[in-house]
Structure 1
Amino acid sequence: MKYDSQYYMLKESGRAASYMLDQVEGSDEGLGRLMAIHPIHRRVLGPGRVGISEGNRAKFQPCDYHETAEQLVSEKFRKVLAPFNLPGIDFYQTDIVNDDKTWSDYYFMHIWNHHKAIHKKRSEIKGTYVGNRFTLLKLSLHEKVLDQVPLEERLVFTLEEKPVFLFHESVVAALRAADLSGLGFRRVDSWSIGSAFEDDDDDFYDDL
């Protein structure tokens, strides 16, 4: 279970959680494939475009991280990740539009670096692993799988079985040090499907 204490899930926090953002008319059609576990750069021909579908428009100021159906990050966020030279991660420039205001220094983050890393006996699911027809209730990562992957190739990755994005503690430490807004992290061994509704707590960072 050693990796369960080394990896974190990224989640919305603070002001970002008060809004729901979605792609709107004018967003490149190729960005509808952001959940794919393969590169999509040949299908994306232009920028993304995001609008506010829920929340007080008059008070909106973008954070460094917003969850849409995907992950929307600021230039500041992107620069924190750049020195890690992460494989299988692409950024697509995206405008956040709110009435007559536009913020252009944002990106959809497409994580297509993937590993089939769920430990089936220790994890808890609702459904069946056959055909990946399940809801993940509690996650544990498989040591034998991740031991075969060099650390630099699994600093950030998505589970092949489910669109769950995982960040190594070293990347989390860098993101936290940058004082970014709108994001929190839940360590894998502290995560369950119900924890998404719990408040963020600095205890999740105690081991960093």
Structure 2
Amino acid sequence: MKYDSQYYILRENHESGAYMLGHTEGTDEGLFHLMSLRSISRRVLAPGKVKVYDGDTSKFFPCDYHETAKQLISERFKKTLSQFDLPGVDYYETHIINDGKVWKEHYFMHIWNHHKAIHHGRSKIDGTYVDDDFTLEVLSLDENVLDKIPLEKRLVFTLEEKPKFLFHETVVQALREANLTGLSFERVDSWSIGSAFE
């Protein structure tokens, strides 16, 4: 349980949650592979394009973080992460388009640094661990796995079993100090499937 208080799950907050963004015409098709567990740099040849599909478009202004089923971040967010030289994290230029306006300094963040790190005894699931066919209800991280990985290689990673993006407390502190908009973090030992609706 020692890592459950050190890692956080990235979430959008009420600012960015008021809008739903998604791919639009002209986006590079390589960016449809952002959930891949390997680099997609050879697939992506041009910027992504997203638009606002839901929310009051007349009031829209981009936040530093938007959840679009993937992770859409600003230049400021990217700059804050870049100081950590994170392995297995790529950024792909993406333009946000809304009512004729275009914001260019945004990126899809692809985290393909992944570890099979769910503790089977302490986590709660609905389903079976066989073929990772389950819904994660309560998460606890496996110290036997993470102890073997140097900290610099697990500052930011994705759970191999389920697409949860985990950020170490040192990275979270830097992101908080940057006063970024649109994001919040929930510590692993406080997270449950129901907390997404709180």
Residue 180 of structure 2 aligns to a residue whose secondary structure is: coil
- The one-letter amino acid paired with 2:70 is E
Equivalent in the alignment of 1:85: 85
Once the 2 structures are TM-superposed, how far is the Cα of residue 14 of structure 1 from its aligned partner?
2.6
TM-score by length of 1: 0.95
Equivalent in the alignment of 1:96: 96
Equivalent in the alignment of 2:140: 140
The within-5 A match list for 1:24-173 is 24-173=24-173
- The one-letter amino acid paired with 2:94 is T
Equivalent in the alignment of 1:3: 3
Cα distance in 2 between the residues matched to 1:187 and 1:79: 23
Residue 4 of structure 2 aligns to a residue whose secondary structure is: helix
Equivalent in the alignment of 1:189: 189
| Residues 134-172 of structure 1: CA deviation (Å, up to 9, x unaligned) | 000000000010000000000000001111100000000
Cα distance in 1 between the residues matched to 2:28 and 2:80: 26
TM-score by length of 2: 0.99
Once the 2 structures are TM-superposed, how far is the Cα of residue 39 of structure 1 from its aligned partner?
0.5
Residue 131 of structure 1 aligns to a residue whose secondary structure is: helix
RMSD in angstroms over aligned alpha carbons?
Answer: 0.4
Cα distance in 2 between the residues matched to 1:13 and 1:99: 23
- The one-letter amino acid paired with 1:173 is Q
Cα distance in 2 between the residues matched to 1:23 and 1:136: 27
Residue 5 of structure 1 aligns to a residue whose secondary structure is: coil
Identical aligned pairs, as a percentage?
65
| Residues 43-69 of structure 1: CA deviation (Å, up to 9, x unaligned) | 111100000110000000000000001
Residue 136 of structure 2 aligns to a residue whose secondary structure is: strand
Residue 171 of structure 1 aligns to a residue whose secondary structure is: helix
Once the 2 structures are TM-superposed, how far is the Cα of residue 99 of structure 1 from its aligned partner?
1.6
- The one-letter amino acid paired with 1:69 is A
Equivalent in the alignment of 1:203: none
Once the 2 structures are TM-superposed, how far is the Cα of residue 110 of structure 1 from its aligned partner?
0.0
Cα distance in 2 between the residues matched to 1:83 and 1:76: 12
Gaps of 5+ in 1: 199-208
Gaps of 5+ in 2: none
Judging by fraction of residues, say which structure has more helix. Answer: 1
- The one-letter amino acid paired with 1:126 is D
Cα distance in 1 between the residues matched to 2:117 and 2:23: 30
- The one-letter amino acid paired with 1:110 is H
- The one-letter amino acid paired with 1:35 is M
Cα distance in 1 between the residues matched to 2:173 and 2:121: 30
- The one-letter amino acid paired with 2:183 is L
- The one-letter amino acid paired with 2:31 is L
Residue 83 of structure 2 aligns to a residue whose secondary structure is: helix
Residue 104 of structure 1 aligns to a residue whose secondary structure is: strand
Once the 2 structures are TM-superposed, how far is the Cα of residue 129 of structure 1 from its aligned partner?
0.4
Runs of 4+ deviating beyond 3 Å: none
